[in-house]
Amino acid sequence: MRYTLGTAAKATGKAKSTILRAVKSGTISAKKSPDGSYEIEPSELHRVFERTGSQPPASNETQPHEEQGATLRFRLEIIEAERERERTLLQETIADLREDRDKWRQQATALLEDNRPKGFFNRLFGR
């Protein structure tokens, strides 16, 4: 079982950017998938970075089914938390964009409804 950048980061306790930097610099060899993600062999990853105690072994075949289920539930909870965080950020962005749109709309409406006299002499003589 190969690691993705995210699972490699969890397995080592490092940031994804640290793992990616190591891959791009050639410190760690990785295979690039057709979808653009990286696949890193566990032995290659742990040759450079130590394994943390929180990550289960790379091979699921060595784990009992209960541990696999717990691991999958844990991963699912992490994914759901990330999705909720992203959803919140998107909702905040949408609210900001709507607020900006409304301000621009008010400004455009005010400019269209401008009834001040046009031209220098009209303004000068108040016509």
pLDDT at position 53, please? Answer: 54
Residue 119 has φ and ψ, to the nearest 5°, of 90, 150
The encoded tokens of residue 23 equal 């891959």
Mean pLDDT calculated for residue range 65-88: 87
pLDDT tens digits, 79-96: 999 999 999 999 999 999
pLDDT at position 95, please? Answer: 95
Share of the chain above pLDDT 70, in %: 85
Q: Is the pTM of this model over 0.85?
A: no
pLDDT at position 74, please? Answer: 87
Mean pLDDT calculated for residue range 17-36: 91
Sign of CA dihedral 9, 12, 13, 18: negative
pLDDT at position 55, please? Answer: 47
For domain 1-59, give the CATH number. Answer: 1.10.1660
Extents of the domains making up the chain: 1-59, 63-113
Cβ–Cβ < 8 Å for 47, 87: no
pLDDT over 70 (residue 117): no
What DSSP string describes 61-85?
GGS-HHHHHHHHHHHHHHHHHHHHH
